[in-house]
Structure 1
Amino acid sequence: MAITVLVAYYSAGGTTRRLAEAVAEGAEKAGGEVRLRRAEETAPAEIVAGRQDWADNLAATDHLAPPTHEDLRWADAIMLGTPTRYGNIATPLMRFLETTGPLWFADELADKVVGGFASVGTAHGGHESTLLALSHVFHHWGALYVSPGYLGEASRAAGNPYGVSALASIGRPGPSEEELSAARAYGARVAATAGRLVRGALRDE
């Protein structure tokens, strides 16, 4: 029985997208069945058009559907990714999360295995506070947050125990190979953890 994993993210310039793809790759290698989803863009078209990397990234991911409540119900594990916006979750992803109240109220998101990832433009630009903001959502859901900790070489090299994060700015494209390796390892860890819980629940039935 394959473990189902939802990887849902928002990305402007493409850094968080590449993290999401690495997370999905790691989850698949751990035996997960993955759905990759991109939150809908909320910025005006003229703003997006003013930045070539933003426009190119959106065009490259037009084929991805936005996340839905059905995706959340389907998933054994949920991994959410966002660029940092003033140390917080970007609006497109947060707008989706704010629609999940009915699922939360009905306990449909309780005991989901979850994790978060983020990107930031400067070394101290708020990646940890953004990951903690994602964890606040998960705590309200009653979900089971799995951190990467400092487990294994890949996680230690990236150096973020709260989730996976990447640093990318003008003149410093990202993620780095170390950050991508950490994202793959994290995707695998979350999928494997969900697998153990699901198999344990089936044995108890």
Structure 2
Amino acid sequence: MSANSSGLKGVVVFHSGYGHTKRMADSVAEGAKASLLQISAEGELSEQQWAEILAADFIILGSPTYMGGPSWQFKKFSDASSKPWFADLWKDKIFGGFTNSSSVNGDKLATLQYFTLLAAQHRGIWVGVGMKSSNTKASQRDDLNRMGSFIGPMAQTPADAAPEEMSPGDLETARVYGERVAEIAGLFLAAKTAASIV
């Protein structure tokens, strides 16, 4: 795992069914300067990927929203995380998350809430979007946070649209969010380091 310029180690752990969530993951990872760990079509991660999560200072979770929640592949990963949960291995890590669905609502909030609960189970610290929504008459499809989400970035992609047709605003929201998670993680790590020196 490579650290970003501030020395932080971060991972984006995600599942993508058709490539749309992967585009979001790419944007989040770009902003956070984090490694991409894609959950396989069978819901698996390699031992090396699990090791990267353990070594990370922050973990950003991603999944499409299917039937009102994350994909089964993501849920399989979530259940498998009970092993580090028993040993408190992810305690006090910084967490974030993002999702995509074809409908404007699509119950994406339920997926993000699932992520926040998973982070809380691991006794982690969640980072919200940190920006206001674009909700005026002048707002456009490609504005930042056009979906008005505060827990984590949401993207909306029509069911018949290719990943290349995703809203640039949704992707930029994801990138800026990645920057924010890494920034908060850096502040938290610096505070912990300072406290241990005193």
User: Aligned partners of 1:85, 1:200: CA distance in 2, in Å?
Assistant: 38
Deviations for 1:6-31, whole angstroms, at most 9, x for unmatched residues?
Answer: 10111111110000000000012xxx
Partner of 1:159: 148
- Structure 2: give runs of 5+ residues left out of the alignment: 1-5, 135-142
Question: 1:120 and 1:113 mapped to 2: Cα distance?
Answer: 25
Q: Gaps (5+ residues) in structure 1? A: 29-33, 44-63
Tell me, in whole angstroms, the C-alpha distance in 1 between the residues paired with 2:113 and 2:188. Answer: 24
Which amino acid is 1:39 matched to?
I
SS at 2:41 equivalent: coil
Which residue number in structure 1 is paired with residue 24 of structure 2?
A: 19
Q: Which gives a bigger RCO, structure 1 or 2 (Cα 8 Å, sep 6+)?
A: 1
> Where does residue 50 of structure 2 map in the other structure?
69
Moved over 6 A (4+): 64-67
**Counterpart residue number, 2:11:** 6
1:139 and 1:88 map into 2 onto residues whose CA distance is 17
Q: How many positions carry a matched residue from both structures?
A: 180
* Structural mapping, 1:28-177, within 5 Å: 28=33, 34-42=34-42, 68-151=49-132, 155-173=144-162, 174-177=165-168
- In 1, the alpha carbon distance for the partners of 2:48 and 2:70 equals 16
Once the 2 structures are TM-superposed, how far is the Cα of residue 68 of structure 1 from its aligned partner?
3.3
**Distance in 1 of aligned mates of 2:20 and 2:48:** 19
**TM, length-normalised to structure 2:** 0.83
Write the mapping of 1:184-203 to structure 2, written as runs, cut at 5 A. 184-203=175-194
- The 3 A distance-change label for structure 1 pair 193 and 155 is farther
- Mark the CA change 1:67 to 1:177 in structure 2 (over 3 Å): closer, same or farther: farther
Distance between the aligned counterparts of 1:141 and 1:119, measured in 2? 24
1:93/1:202 CA distance change after superposition, 3 Å:
same
The alpha-carbon distance between structure 1 residues 66 and 96, as it changes in their structure 2 partners (threshold 3 A), is farther
AA aligned to 1:179 is: D
Contact 1:69 1:100 in 2 (8 A): no
- Percent pairwise identity: 28
- Contact 1:114–1:144, Cα closer than 8 Å, also in 2: yes
Q: Are the counterparts in 2 of residues 8 and 67 from structure 1 also a CA contact under 8 Å?
A: no
Partner letter of residue 86 of structure 1? M
Q: Letter of the aligned partner of 1:120 in structure 2?
A: S
